[in-house]
């Protein structure tokens, strides 16, 4: 498939956000990382009670203020955008905020990624050529959440698979990713290997495999992505 | 309360954490559980939940709590009913802890004594997902025996390991439907840290309030830690 | 507020912690100090005290703070004025951290990157008199290089050491004459833990209230940690 | 001096509490241990602003309620007696309470003692014949306070010196006591040894030395105890 044709079938970042949001279950507490993950908030189905945790001590982070004149520097997301507080939410200081994530209280964390390996290793905090990077809360959150969802494009701009046999980018957290959501597929990280659960319409499971470095397990239950 | 325009209402139906009775609240606590019990002396002790657990007749508990009960009340009730295999605490032998003293002297209950600050910090470490911490407390004492000693910047520290529990029973002042909690004066004590360190957190609160009626700034324990609660006012006036 | 009969009035004259001006508040901060600066992004940043320190022309600071400033404000002001020798932070290169990026690329400032949760916990450990703690964060990453790895119950942990500072500058919401503090929404962030971990704690509060007018249950930072304060309302409307 | 004559000159526990209270300086935060130390509270001079910390999370612990019908189980001292809160006081949870003591924020702690050694070693938590004891917060407080004041009778009921060359009772905290207040004397623990600062009227410095196992340094400035 040529690049132009491929671009037409891949999920937009909004579609990807919708798909990830569908994965969040009623009653969950979820941390959303900076960037793409934040886009998931508005797409949680209205009948599900999902609370968002922001590393800067917000429990019950919600959508931006409807009137932006109410935006407040003391109520920003981790990505520094204005947000509101869900009724019944609360605030904690930074040490208590990270006690929540390291302590295993996050049902899920949604994080951007540069690379995810077959064993769940996550690389998302700095580019290999940079001298250093901005780690933020990624390491603490990936290591502590019950489920870590990686949310990313399937391949790099150069067409290289971001799902890899072994991460070559600097490590964020070992064996932490449980599911990978890309513009091409949903892939579960299982003890037996990577299981292709869903693929974008317009592609075949074989197309997804062709864009993916490690061998995928393709079960009979594999299906098109819905959102 | 928050400034105008900064609150988003809840639209989904939220899970009901309120148990119908203390008996229902503790129904799934198993024999042999490790149970953290909030309170210091007579302050902030979850008496109603202790009674409910006793009435249930649970056996073989390991209890983590600062004290061992006051005469026949509090943890002494557990002890008297033979529910307890082991106590982990800092102050087992207060004058009023006669029930524990008798059982201990008769060899009927095990005891681990932990310095009070290390006890609180071990519970916090358990809740915070830490593997342990280095404390100057206890260096050169028998309470450091068998524990690893590390030297950092020329000073000796005891490596203390985290404590976690299957269940914590907690006494709070206010609770809302999320399980957000406030406490009452020095009744706060171990309760907030224990909420963070147990798989199941069962609360008795003096008063239940509506969602959104607690100022987000004054919530001490976010509801995410709370599994279920009962309203104590209905069952007892003991404060 | 407390129930009837449980408050004892203050009779002695209490020390005046209020400084006459931001300049006076920071007058004794020395060149080469380690300075913790509260705030996360633009929230809860002590802008007035940062400005006062810049105006004083202090040099050679090591700054401990989560970020490196927003465009020309916050810590970027320190950086631009050449006050900073080294930054210890978790997120140095936000889009809006252009001032730091340029200085770092020019080799004019040192940098230690610490995972955000470990940064908060190292500050807490510094305040709590601990010698360090074991965290699963960073195991197998370059941010654990040079740090001791300990295995506890079969799991690997990084030994992280405490952080302390000569001075912390803090942004609060309310302050009373004791120095008791409340915070404003997510402006709380690192401020309360930093209050515990510095030899000198200098606060800018939006509002000053009378002794006894804060409910003892809602005070987040007890005044014992606070060295002195200024009232921000008088100097700036930035919130 | 015979026992009856000695009993007449020794400080009563109230007099001892008065003397220790005089040692507390304006602006200090002070932890008081269970038992005798609690008696110091009412004797702080009225013109001094001294705040008391109680290990159970009270900052600003004050005298018992004037009307005991206001006594409340949720406002008790570490020794479980009813207290009040000084205006401007606050509450913290137990981990934060011990962060205050270990973190060096207590200007002084007043603790009961079984034995204090020349080097400041403190034994106060269990008797040697007991299988174990109630340590409470003693170890954390003695190790963290800027100054640890031991408050005790000078000798045991059997007449043995409680100030010793080396503690024989189980250790509470090494090199922690900075000053010893007894019913007979005030003794400073200094790098050069134990310095007798004050002695009770009716005894001589030599009498105090006779009741004390280690050699005391007796400076020219030694004076009778005033309170």
**B contact test, residue of A52, A92, A103, A144 with most B CBs within 10 A:** A103
**CATH of region C21-130+162-231, choose from 3.40.630.30, 3.40.1080.10, 3.10.580.10, 3.40.50.300:** 3.40.1080.10
Instruction: Name residues 53-112 of chain B within 8 A of A (Cβ).
Output: none
D55 is catalytic: yes
Cβ distance B183 to B173 under 8 Å? yes
Q: CB distance from B135 to chain D under 8 Å?
A: yes
Q: Please indicate whether, in this complex, the C-beta atoms of B137 and D85 are within 8 angstroms of each other.
A: no
Chain B contact set for A70 (CB, 8 A): 3-6
Q: How confident is the model at residue B239 (pLDDT cuts 50, 70, 90)?
A: very low
pLDDT of A1 > 80? The answer is: no
| Helix, strand, coil distribution of chain C in percent, nearest 5 | 25, 30, 45
Chain D neighbours (≥3 Cβ pairs under 8 A) are B, C
Tokens of C224: 């014992």
Percent of chain A at pLDDT above 90? 93
Residues of chain A contacting B219 with CB distance shorter than 8 Å: 90-91
* CB-based contacts of C237, cutoff 8 Å, min separation 6: none
Splitting chain C (239 residues) into consecutive groups of 10 residues, what average pLDDT does each group show?
95 95 97 98 95 95 96 92 96 93 96 98 98 98 97 97 98 97 98 98 97 97 98 62
What is the pTM assigned to this prediction?
A: 0.98
* Nearest partner of D9 among D190, D192, D163, D208, judged by Cα: D208
Closest CA–CA distance from residue D99 to any residue of chain C (Å):
4
Q: Tell me how far apart the alpha carbons of residues C219 and C182 are, in angstroms, rounded to a whole number.
A: 6
Distance CA C121, CA A95 (A): 6
Mean pLDDT in chain A?
96
* pLDDT tens column, A50-99: 999 999 999 999 999 999 999 999 999 999 999 999 999 999 999 999 99
Closest listed residue to residue B65, CA positions, set B116, B135, B20, B138 = B116
Query: For residue C15, which residues of chain D lie inside 8 Å, CB to CB?
Result: 26-27, 49
Residue D41, pLDDT score? 94
Interface mutation target, options B133, B181, B185, chain D, most CBs of D under 10 Å: B185
Nearest C-alpha of chain C: how many angstroms from B134?
5
CB nearest to A70's CB, from B5, B10, B222: B5
Q: Which residues of B touch A65 (CB under 8 A)?
A: 5-6
Q: What is the pLDDT of residues A139-182, one digit of tens each?
A: 999 999 999 999 999 999 999 999 999 999 999 999 999 999 99
Average pLDDT, chain B: 95
Compute the distance between CA of residue C57 and CA of residue C70 in angstroms, rounded to an integer: 20
Would you state the pLDDT for residue C237?
44
Q: Which residues of chain D have pLDDT under 50?
A: none
Contact C141 A91 (CB under 8 A): no
Residue of B132, B135, B153 with shortest CB distance to C152: B132
- Judge whether C5 is closer than 8 Å to chain D, CB to CB: yes
| Subunits with 3+ C-beta pairs closer than 8 A to A | B, C
| Closest chain B C-alpha to A203 CA, distance in angstroms | 35
Q: Which residues of D touch C14 (CB under 8 A)?
A: 49, 88
Q: Where are the domains of chain C?
A: 21-130+162-231
With cut-offs at 50, 70 and 90, classify the pLDDT of residue A223. Answer: very high
**What is the complex's ipTM, to 2 decimals?**
0.97
The strand pairing partners of D32, in sequence order, are D110
A89 touches chain C (CB under 8 A): no
State residue C234's pLDDT score: 56
pLDDT category at B234 given cuts 50, 70, 90 is: low
> What percent of chain C has a predicted confidence (pLDDT) above 70?
97
Task: List, for residues C38-94, the tens digit of each pLDDT value.
Answer: 999 999 999 999 999 999 999 999 999 999 998 989 999 999 999 999 999 999 999
A6 pLDDT tier (thresholds 50, 70, 90): confident
**Nearest neighbour of C132 by CB, restricted to B128, B152, B216:** B152
Q: What is the DSSP string of D14-68?
A: HHHHHHHHHTPPTT-EEEE-TTGGGGGGGGS-TTS--EEEETTTEEEEESPPSSG
Domains, chain D, ranges and CATH? 3-224 (3.40.1080.10)
pLDDT for residue C238: 46
Closest CA to B218 of B230, B209, B228, B227: B209
DSSP string, A35-89: TGGGGGGGGS-TTS--EEEETTTEEEEESPPSSGGG--TTSB-TTS-B-EEEEEE
- A144 to C136: CB separation less than 8 angstroms, yes or no: yes
What's the confidence (pLDDT) of residue A64?
A: 95
């Amino acid at each position: 498939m040529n690049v132009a044709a491929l671009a037409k079938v891949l999920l937009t970042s909004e579609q990807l956000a919708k798909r990830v949001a569908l994965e969040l279950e009623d009653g969950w507490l979820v941390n959303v990382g900076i960037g793409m993950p934040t886009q998931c908030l508005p797409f949680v189905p209205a009948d599900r009670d999902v609370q968002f945790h922001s590393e800067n001590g917000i429990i019950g982070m919600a959508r931006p203020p409807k009137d932006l004149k109410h935006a407040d520097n003391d109520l920003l997301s981790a990505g520094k955008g204005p947000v509101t507080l869900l009724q019944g939410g609360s605030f904690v200081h930074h040490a208590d905020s990270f006690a929540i994530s390291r302590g295993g209280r996050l049902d899920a964390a949604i994080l951007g990624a540069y690379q995810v390996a077959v064993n769940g290793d996550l690389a998302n905090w700095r580019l290999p050529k940079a001298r250093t990077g901005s780690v933020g809360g990624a390491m603490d959150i990936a290591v502590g959440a019950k489920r870590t969802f990686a949310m990313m494009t399937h391949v790099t701009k150069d067409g290289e698979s971001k799902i890899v046999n072994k991460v070559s980018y600097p490590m964020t957290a070992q064996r932490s990713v449980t599911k990978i959501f890309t513009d091409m597929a949903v892939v579960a990280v299982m003890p037996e290997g990577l299981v292709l659960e869903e693929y974008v319409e317009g592609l075949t499971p074989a197309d997804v495999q062709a864009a993916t470095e490690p061998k995928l397990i393709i079960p009979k239950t594999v299906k098109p992505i819905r959102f | 309360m928050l400034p105008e325009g900064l609150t988003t209402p809840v639209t989904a139906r939220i899970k009901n954490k309120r148990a119908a009775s203390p008996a229902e609240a503790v129904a799934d606590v198993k024999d042999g559980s490790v149970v953290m019990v909030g309170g210091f002396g007579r302050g902030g002790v979850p008496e109603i939940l202790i009674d409910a657990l006793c009435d249930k007749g649970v056996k073989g508990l390991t209890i983590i709590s600062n004290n061992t009960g006051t005469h026949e009340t509090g943890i002494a009730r557990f002890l008297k009913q033979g529910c307890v295999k082991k106590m982990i605490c800092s102050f087992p032998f207060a004058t009023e802890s006669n029930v524990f003293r008798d059982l201990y002297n008769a060899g009927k209950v095990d005891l681990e004594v932990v310095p009070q600050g290390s006890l609180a910090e071990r519970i916090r470490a358990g809740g915070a997902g830490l593997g342990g911490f280095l404390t100057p407390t206890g260096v050169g004492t028998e309470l450091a025996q068998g524990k690893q000693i590390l030297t950092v910047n020329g000073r000796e520290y005891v490596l203390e390991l985290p404590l976690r529990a299957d269940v914590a029973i907690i006494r709070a002042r206010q609770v809302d439907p999320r399980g957000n909690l406030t406490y009452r004066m020095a009744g706060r004590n171990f309760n907030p840290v224990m909420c963070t360190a147990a798989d199941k957190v069962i609360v008795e609160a003096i008063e239940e309030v509506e969602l959104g009626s607690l100022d987000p700034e004054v919530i001490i324990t976010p509801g995410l830690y709370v599994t279920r609660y009962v309203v104590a006012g209905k069952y007892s006036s003991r404060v």
